[in-house]
Chains A and B, each alone.
Chain A
Amino acid sequence: MPEVNELLSLVPKAEAKQSMKDFKSDQEVRWCPGCGDYAVLAAVQGFMPDLGLAKENIVFVSGIGCSSRFPYYMNTYGMHSIHGRAPAIATGLATSRRDLSVWVVTGDGDALSIGGNHLIHALRRNVNLKILLFNNRIYGLTKGQYSPTSEVGKITKSTPMGSLDSPFNPVSLAIGAEASFVARTVDSDRKHLTSVLRQAADHPGTALVEIYQNCNIFNDGAFEALKDKDRALEAVIRLEHGEPIRFGADNSKGVVRDPATGDLVVVPVTADNEHQILVHDAHATSPTTAFALSRLADPDTLHHTPIGVLRSVKRPVYDTLMSDQLDAAVEQNGKGDLSQLLAGNDTWTVVG
């Protein structure tokens, strides 16, 4: 399969140096003041110039929800489509136009509820899409119902006695759906967000980035455990490929494999066990350890939430394979000839 840079090379480069301003559209941003979406928009507009791609070859496709207004604010090509369908629409665009860099912006309701089917199939196909999943664990645009990532027992307008259904862990779901790139980041950590987006952009195939995003109107503080400096020390596990998985004050905690079950567990790091601390391998062929990492987080308290790139492996890209088949068909049968096709093999002639 093509190398990373070979795939990206199909997208034309910008002729002149671009700035953040080039990626801002003339539309007034209409999210609620204080919404986490602003931070993500700024980060995306800020790192796009670094990609050096011609902005006319960049397309943002979204579904429905607060985050799905995103394309209107990017001065690229864009489509604000219908609820849940952005991955399907983007698949058609990406597979028919390999010279485009196609981004999907979606939310937890859009991607995991009404559009769940399209998300998992895009991931398993490994279409060349970058999917930004804004997870605020609530329905914002419809004013505050619980979402497929809300914690059990969530009190909302539609669940006054508490929600009954267990949430999805989007990272676990993506790994289960054969995703070749899965990452998680947080809206408020601009540096981390940018670094993860950058790696997603470089990935050939579908990249899913879950972005924890605060809805200050309907679910304020949902990720406070990961943002408050002191609490974050104990809650956040920052993953770096090739580095031992350690966190907490003075990196006093680490992740090891339980020899009895094979599962991962968090332990205090000691001189005796230091050599047993798991070294993060995002490129591992098997998704098993990445999945186990994704399960460390407590869905209620968010304690032990890994962020960063959990999985990044090379796998054939659907769009490339599709194009290869077209080329192979021409090689085998020659370029299609319409007259020959219409005539077929079994004709007769009527003379006047």
Chain B
Amino acid sequence: MTSQVSSPAEQADGADDTSDSVVGEQHVLRGAPGVPGSKEVRRLDRVIIRFAGDSGDGMQLTGDRFTSETASFGNDLSTLPNFPAEIRAPAGTLPGVSSFQLHFADHDILTPGDAPNVLVAMNPAALKANIGDVPRGADIIVNTDEFTKRPMAKVGYTTSPLEDGSLEAYQLHPVPLTTLTIEALKEFGLSRKEAERSKNMFALGLLSWMYHRPTESTEQFLRTKFAKKPNIAEANVAAFRAGWNFGETTEDFAVSYEVAPATKAFPTGTYRNISGNLALSYGLIAASHQADLPLYLGSYPITPASDILHELSRHKNFGVRTFQAEDEIAAIGAALGAAFGGSLAVTTTSGPGVALKSETIGLAVSLELPLLVVAIQRGGPSTGLPTKTEQADLLQAMYGRNGEAPVPIVAPRTPADCFDAAIEAARIAVTYRTPVFLLSDGYLANGSEPWRIPEPDELPDLGVQFTTAPNHQLPDGTDVFWPYKRDPHTLARPWAVPGTPGLEHRIGGIEKQDGTGNISYDPANHDFMVRTRQAKIDGIEVPDLVVDDPDGARTLVLGWGSTYGPITAAVRRLRTNGHPIAQAHLRHINPFPRNLGEVLKRYDKVVVPEMNLGQLATLLRAKYLIDAHSYNQVNGMPFKAEQLATALKEAIDA
């Protein structure tokens, strides 16, 4: 797949809830000073744009650039890239459509938006694949050059939707994007095919004009990206400017829009836009820094986790070792070997890879070594939907091993939160000497949002003490090292790394005698060790669950992971309309926060929305004997706020 960047987000926030008209308040400003030209300018509080085209049209790049412009302008934003698993599906077909949705606002928002206000459709397939999501009245910009007989027939249009009246309910803007781009670039001496490629930059220029986006960063980006091909760089810049000028001069675009920076939404600080996988990668590097341990990644390429491997491979000057293994099993094996040697060890994967790694995770449980298993969930089972999101690997993470093999689970809630979640997972791993699951998903991985950049001194100290001296005295007075003599507080065993004189010891997957770590088949010892390993995980200190309940509600909505944005947006809508509802979101799923049982019992009804068939609900029901109500969606896409709000309203009323 092409670039990614961007991601999740949410949708409307409180203000507009049920109405179809997605756009919020509008103020008409005429001839505002400093605004290009004398066209009408309207002010919006938020906008949702979707760029859609063929896989080869560069829609992800276009979306990324618009996102970057928007981030630097200071809007809050949330993105949702959506692309096929095929690198280049046959051109012009429905399976080949790639899209990028961006929601930006002058206030804080939580999702990439339910339905676009603006659809940019680069070809008939893009129009056909996306029109169902576009509400009536929205703007649709189409590349008319592609609406010829063959491309239309390919996707089943027998008449042109641009002419047969089927788009009457929309604000249709027919633009010959290809022709205009080629025309704009005729001085560059490019072939037609080469020139055509810049049509996405023309579209970006047009949209940048429409929404008053700053343009310098995109021009700079193009010049850097094509530094070795200055002619191509300048051609793209020219196409971008031509698009901007087209909006400015043509009569078809009579209005442009302003979305003010979301100054009140953000605490003071320095911000950048960041995707989930990037934030997660940075979190790992930061954890390594804070623990003063070298970072070692063993990984095998798999969508949607590969970008973490790519990113970490770029930072060797931080002492980061990345090892692309021959398979998923070797990837985690190498990581475990590095953990034995004293590295902060990580393996990154997705559901099918987790399945392959299961035996080694069990070994790590038995060896009691720190190891981060980063799982970026995608649609399953089997190969499933590699580029789509899902939360259906929770029970695999929880129980997917032979024997009693408890593993802590940490789940980030937004793209930027992947940074903090990675540090938290590392804290648990090194403190308790255990493998830890960091359970993200495709929506968080590829989505993006503004992130307040932390100062290094805000980060927790993860300092680790290796054991360097004997820790036990035998009855005869001899000092010895016992690899399974535990810290009485954490139940963690000592981490004595090879190279430490006098502490030579052997560990393995066979059951060990408590304390000495020698092989033991003694029944009572096994029972004790099984219970002790469980007690260690159960005893991990995690923060209490915080409940947001301003109105004293009777219904609690409880989520985990990437559903945070849509759930929060839905909750805002309900409260704005006078429906009290309490909200809580789990970061720690194993162990659960200590106060979870008490929180659940406070409410008459608990609703658990998940992108699976009710896996967290199953855990809650089993542990707390409560009648948790599941609300599920397993279609590879994040929840829409409106849909969740409706479902929650029904739960409140039932």
Interface, chain A (partner B; CB < 8 A): 12, 25, 27, 54-59, 61, 71-72, 74-82, 85, 87-97, 99-100, 117-118, 121, 322, 325-326, 328-330, 332-336, 338-339, 341-344, 346-352
Beyond A27-B519, A99-B499, 16 additional contacts (C-beta under 8 Å) are A56-B499, A58-B498, A77-B498, A79-B506, A80-B506, A80-B509, A85-B329, A88-B325, A88-B330, A89-B337, A93-B341, A97-B499, A117-B326, A335-B317, A346-B72, A349-B270
Judging by beta carbons under 8 Å apart, are A95 and B266 in contact?
Answer: no
Between A and B, 6 residue pairs with Cβ closer than 8 Å are A81-B508, A85-B329, A91-B333, A97-B338, A326-B316, A346-B273
Q: Give the docked Cα–Cα distance between A341 and B274 (Å).
A: 12
Judging by beta carbons under 8 Å apart, are B270 and A95 in contact?
Answer: no
Query: Whose C-beta in chain A lies nearest to the C-beta of B330?
Result: A88
A96 smallest CB distance to B (angstroms)? 4
Judging by beta carbons under 8 Å apart, are A341 and B333 in contact?
Answer: no
Q: Give the docked Cα–Cα distance between A40 and B647 (Å).
A: 69
Judging by beta carbons under 8 Å apart, are B268 and A351 in contact?
Answer: yes
Query: Whose C-beta in chain B lies nearest to the C-beta of A15?
Result: B501
Contact partner, A89, options B271, B282, B334, Cβ 8 Å: B334
The segment from B189-197, B431-439, B448-456, B570-578 that touches chain A is B448-456
Contact partner, B502, options A56, A78, A326, A352, Cβ 8 Å: A56
Q: Give the docked Cα–Cα distance between A349 and B318 (Å).
A: 27
Beyond A92-B296, A100-B499, whether A336 also contacts B337 by CB under 8 A is no
Contacts of B266 in A (CB 8 A): 350
B336: interface (CB < 8 Å): yes
Beyond A326-B317, A342-B453, whether A350 also contacts B269 by CB under 8 A is yes
B367: interface (CB < 8 Å): yes
Contacts of B503 in A (CB 8 A): 56
Query: Whose C-beta in chain A lies nearest to the C-beta of B500?
Result: A56
Contacts of A347 in B (CB 8 A): 270-272, 453
B76 smallest CB distance to A (angstroms)? 11
Contacting A at CB under 8 A, from B235-294, are 263, 266-273, 282, 285-286, 289, 294
Judging by beta carbons under 8 Å apart, are B334 and A341 in contact?
Answer: no
Judging by beta carbons under 8 Å apart, are B363 and A339 in contact?
Answer: no
Contact partner, A96, options B296, B316, B330, B453, Cβ 8 Å: B296
Judging by beta carbons under 8 Å apart, are B273 and A80 in contact?
Answer: no
Query: Whose C-beta in chain B lies nearest to the C-beta of A62?
Result: B508
B contact residues, total (Cβ < 8 Å): 71
Q: Give the docked Cα–Cα distance between A265 and B271 (Å).
A: 74
Judging by beta carbons under 8 Å apart, are B341 and A343 in contact?
Answer: no
Interface, chain B (partner A; CB < 8 A): 68, 71-72, 74, 217, 263, 266-273, 282, 285-286, 289, 294, 296, 298, 315-321, 323, 325-327, 329-331, 333-343, 345, 359-360, 362-363, 367, 453-456, 498-510, 518-519
Contact partner, B507, options A80, A117, A330, Cβ 8 Å: A80
Contact partner, B318, options A55, A89, A336, Cβ 8 Å: A336
Contacts of B360 in A (CB 8 A): 82, 85
Query: Whose C-beta in chain A lies nearest to the C-beta of B294?
Result: A96
B163 smallest CB distance to A (angstroms)? 42
Judging by beta carbons under 8 Å apart, are A57 and B498 in contact?
Answer: yes
Which of B71, B331, B509: most chain A CB closer than 10 A? B509
B72 smallest CB distance to A (angstroms)? 5
Q: Give the docked Cα–Cα distance between A234 and B500 (Å).
A: 49
Contact partner, A118, options B326, B338, B359, Cβ 8 Å: B326
B235 smallest CB distance to A (angstroms)? 23
Judging by beta carbons under 8 Å apart, are B334 and A92 in contact?
Answer: yes
Beyond A339-B456, A348-B74, whether A92 also contacts B333 by CB under 8 A is yes
B275 smallest CB distance to A (angstroms)? 12
Contacts of A329 in B (CB 8 A): 315-317
Q: Give the docked Cα–Cα distance between A346 and B363 (Å).
A: 43
Contact partner, A121, options B285, B330, B336, Cβ 8 Å: B330
Judging by beta carbons under 8 Å apart, are A95 and B338 in contact?
Answer: yes
Contact partner, B340, options A12, A56, A79, A332, Cβ 8 Å: A79
Judging by beta carbons under 8 Å apart, are B316 and A80 in contact?
Answer: no
Q: Give the docked Cα–Cα distance between A57 and B326 (Å).
A: 27
Contacts of A99 in B (CB 8 A): 499
Q: Give the docked Cα–Cα distance between A332 and B316 (Å).
A: 11
Judging by beta carbons under 8 Å apart, are B341 and A97 in contact?
Answer: yes
Contacts of A59 in B (CB 8 A): 498
Contacts of B501 in A (CB 8 A): 54, 56
Contacts of B367 in A (CB 8 A): 79
B202 smallest CB distance to A (angstroms)? 23
B278 smallest CB distance to A (angstroms)? 9
Contacts of B337 in A (CB 8 A): 61, 79, 88-94, 96
Beyond A338-B285, A342-B454, A349-B271, whether A91 also contacts B334 by CB under 8 A is yes
Contacts of A332 in B (CB 8 A): 317
Query: Whose C-beta in chain B lies nearest to the C-beta of A77?
Result: B498
Contacts of B453 in A (CB 8 A): 342-343, 347
A333 smallest CB distance to B (angstroms)? 5
Judging by beta carbons under 8 Å apart, are B294 and A344 in contact?
Answer: no
Judging by beta carbons under 8 Å apart, are B282 and A342 in contact?
Answer: yes
B214 smallest CB distance to A (angstroms)? 10
Q: Give the docked Cα–Cα distance between A250 and B325 (Å).
A: 50
Contacts of A94 in B (CB 8 A): 337
Query: Whose C-beta in chain A lies nearest to the C-beta of B322?
Result: A322
Query: Whose C-beta in chain A lies nearest to the C-beta of B359?
Result: A82
Q: Give the docked Cα–Cα distance between A62 and B328 (Å).
A: 19
Contact partner, B519, options A72, A81, A90, A349, Cβ 8 Å: A72
Judging by beta carbons under 8 Å apart, are A342 and B286 in contact?
Answer: yes
Beyond A79-B340, A326-B317, whether A348 also contacts B518 by CB under 8 A is no
Q: Top 6 A-B pairs ranked by shortest CB distance?
A: A92-B337, A80-B508, A88-B333, A92-B334, A336-B318, A329-B316
Contacts of A93 in B (CB 8 A): 337-338, 340-341, 498
Contacts of A334 in B (CB 8 A): 317
Which of B316, B360, B501: most chain A CB closer than 10 A? B316
Judging by beta carbons under 8 Å apart, are A348 and B71 in contact?
Answer: yes
Contact partner, B330, options A91, A100, A328, Cβ 8 Å: A91
Q: Give the docked Cα–Cα distance between A99 and B499 (Å).
A: 8
Query: Whose C-beta in chain B lies nearest to the C-beta of A27?
Result: B518
A77 smallest CB distance to B (angstroms)? 4
Which of A56, A74, A117: most chain B CB closer than 10 A? A56
Judging by beta carbons under 8 Å apart, are B74 and A350 in contact?
Answer: yes
Query: Whose C-beta in chain B lies nearest to the C-beta of A84?
Result: B329
Beyond A90-B337, A100-B499, whether A348 also contacts B506 by CB under 8 A is no
Judging by beta carbons under 8 Å apart, are A100 and B340 in contact?
Answer: no
Contacts of A335 in B (CB 8 A): 317-318
